[in-house]
Structure 1
């Protein structure tokens, strides 16, 4: 239920971005209180839900329906920061595909937290038509990684409270459990990476059970949190052999489609609930539960951050302006690298040619183009990139934000 007294735009310091409605619903369920909506900038076409998580005022938004990918995520974030100029960082919260290994016994419903993000479909086509991956790796800001370390240590001693957050959400939204409840371990299985799903079959009921990877049953239902690199690109990964190849090359724990559009521009932490294993056997059965486990972790993460500490961090908008200033002082990069599809990975771009960008989106894309040129230039010259957003700045005298 919305509170009576609306806050100002400057009172909101955390952005929460989702790609799908099911992810946005899970995010909204984590709000301790919901606030009244505020007036938006003329060219901001995002839809926002405003509320409080712990001591933080949070802005929740979702990508437009049917418009996934890294560019769409960056445009949504850019418009959000133009309306809510005091946002310090964003959380990209939703679902992704897990990459199990001997080090990470990843199961459906577990959570992957990105210690870095690799754009795996960024590279060039070389002699013989082979795709050479040159994707850049970017990390969240140090202050977010410090919170990750603190929370990780706390979980080692005390365990997580993800199930508690989920139970409280189900109590608040009584119809939610029918969609977001745990599907059951009997529906969690993974096939050998070189065994593709037979064409024409709607489910795995006729798949060769001899090709299943043997795994022990977990004694408890509580999701496990995995930390490591997350692979991001503009296509759905649905091929076990390609998944394994990139796991060996990059050590990734998860694949997703939006993060690469954010982390190289905005202060951002990526949180993904595991809903499939990036192979041809994937389905949507686990998507709601995975979305809500990721949202539960995001809520627990925010509970570890002090509101005063957040106020001492530079705004995300200031960080973006710093990148712009650097970009204008650098010579134009005349070499081009393209986002090219990996072999046997299914494209998820839908109706791209029919998607008309308004003036604000074109402006956002122009900004992102300049930032991308700088990113490529820095990579080519061995530069680590701009770290100015890690330095606390003296706050402007706008008054402390109100927490409702």
Structure 2
């Protein structure tokens, strides 16, 4: 897994459990890595994994969901500034970029759960907007500690372009002889405006991620939801993680690498690099959380 590559210590398997857990450290903080069951995705698998983890490792303080997602490209955005003072403007999310789940206004949500099943019965973009109250569900709040740490990373990134994750990505790629986690040379059907160039580092975007139990593979539906709620990414596990963590009286945070554009042209070539980039950004956030 990509997250193994950014640990500061060797990975150790946690013994004495029927679940697969792995132990390590990031920036002096102890971490437990709990992969989803092989071949399973979605809210149920994520919720079950988090519930089991919290029950077996009672000292867990924060739960990070780290992985891949579909991004929302936005052609008219200058992506060097994701957030403009006083007014949010959706960034152009490219293949290889990273999304940190983050509220775009005080007291607002950092992620939203929506019912994709209801969307399938809606024919047009206008009807989707008219039925948003039926599509979206209430979302739980994320960890205040993690959000504060993310705010610090965000401020340093946007004001002085501090990018510690670049070093972690490069260090792991240098050790990885398979080149599995290298950036793909190109993505069929995508212009360079919508994917990282070979010599570019990932942009990190702070905004709202939408969560559903079905894969988003429709550009028209994607755009309608994104425009209505300022969504910049889509994935399938965050809602399950948040629900299970809340039931265990834990808090969570989501960091996702962008491997496709949530449309009909899904491919898998960007998945390894996107996962590595998300893991490296997560490490940067964990570094800013106080305590050991």
Alignment of 1:29-68 (within 5 A): 29-34=5-10, 36-41=12-17, 45-68=18-41
Distance 1:295 1:57 in 2: 15
1:164 to 164, 167, 170: 167
Task: Provide Cα deviations, 1:303-336, integer angstroms capped at 9, x if missing partner.
Answer: 112325xxxxxxxxxxxxxxxxxxxxxxxxxxxx
Q: What is the Cα deviation at residue 162 of structure 1?
A: 2.1
Corresponding residue SS for 2:234 = strand
Q: 1:279 to 1:36 in 2, by over 3 A?
A: closer
- Asked if the contact 1:31–1:52 (Cα under 8 Å) also holds between the matched residues in 2, the reply is yes
Q: Please say if 1:226 is aligned against 2:217.
A: no
Higher relative contact order (CA 8 A, sep 6+): 2
Q: What is the Cα deviation at residue 118 of structure 1?
A: 0.9
Q: What is the Cα deviation at residue 265 of structure 1?
A: 4.1
- Asked if the contact 2:94–2:194 (Cα under 8 Å) also holds between the matched residues in 1, the reply is no
Q: What is the Cα deviation at residue 61 of structure 1?
A: 1.5
Task: Provide Cα deviations, 1:26-76, integer angstroms capped at 9, x if missing partner.
Answer: 0111111125434435xxx32011111111111112111222111110110
Distance 1:258 1:40 in 2: 27
Unaligned runs of 5+ in 1: 1-24, 191-211, 309-404
Name the structure 2 match of 1:247: 226
Distance 2:97 2:196 in 1: 14
Identify which range, 65-74 or 85-94, moves more after superposition.
65-74
Q: What is the Cα deviation at residue 124 of structure 1?
A: 6.2
Distance 1:128 1:223 in 2: 35
Name the structure 2 match of 1:200: none
1:295 to 279, 282, 286: 279
Q: 1:238 to 1:144 in 2, by over 3 A?
A: same
Q: 1:63 to 1:86 in 2, by over 3 A?
A: same
Task: Provide Cα deviations, 1:243-268, integer angstroms capped at 9, x if missing partner.
Answer: 00110121111000100012244211
Corresponding residue SS for 1:228 = strand
- Asked if the contact 1:108–1:188 (Cα under 8 Å) also holds between the matched residues in 2, the reply is no
Task: Provide Cα deviations, 1:143-200, integer angstroms capped at 9, x if missing partner.
Answer: 21111111111112142122210121134x3324x1110113x43754xxxxxxxxxx
Q: What is the Cα deviation at residue 141 of structure 1?
A: 1.9
Name the structure 2 match of 1:95: 68
Unaligned runs of 5+ in 2: 78-89, 103-109, 246-250
Q: What is the Cα deviation at residue 299 of structure 1?
A: 1.1
Alignment of 1:2-401 (within 5 A): 25-34=1-10, 36-41=12-17, 45-101=18-74, 102=77, 103-115=90-102, 116-121=110-115, 132-156=134-158, 157-171=160-174, 173-176=175-178, 178-184=179-185, 186-187=186-187, 190=190, 221-266=200-245, 267-308=251-292
Distance 2:24 2:10 in 1: 4
Task: Provide Cα deviations, 1:350-375, integer angstroms capped at 9, x if missing partner.
Answer: xxxxxxxxxxxxxxxxxxxxxxxxxx
Structure possessing the higher radius of gyration over alpha carbons:
1
Q: What is the Cα deviation at residue 120 of structure 1?
A: 1.4
Task: Provide Cα deviations, 1:103-138, integer angstroms capped at 9, x if missing partner.
Answer: 30111000011121211117869x999873132233
* Structure-2-length-normalised TM-score: 0.79
Distance 1:288 1:58 in 2: 21
RMSD after superposition: 2.7
Q: What is the Cα deviation at residue 216 of structure 1?
A: 10
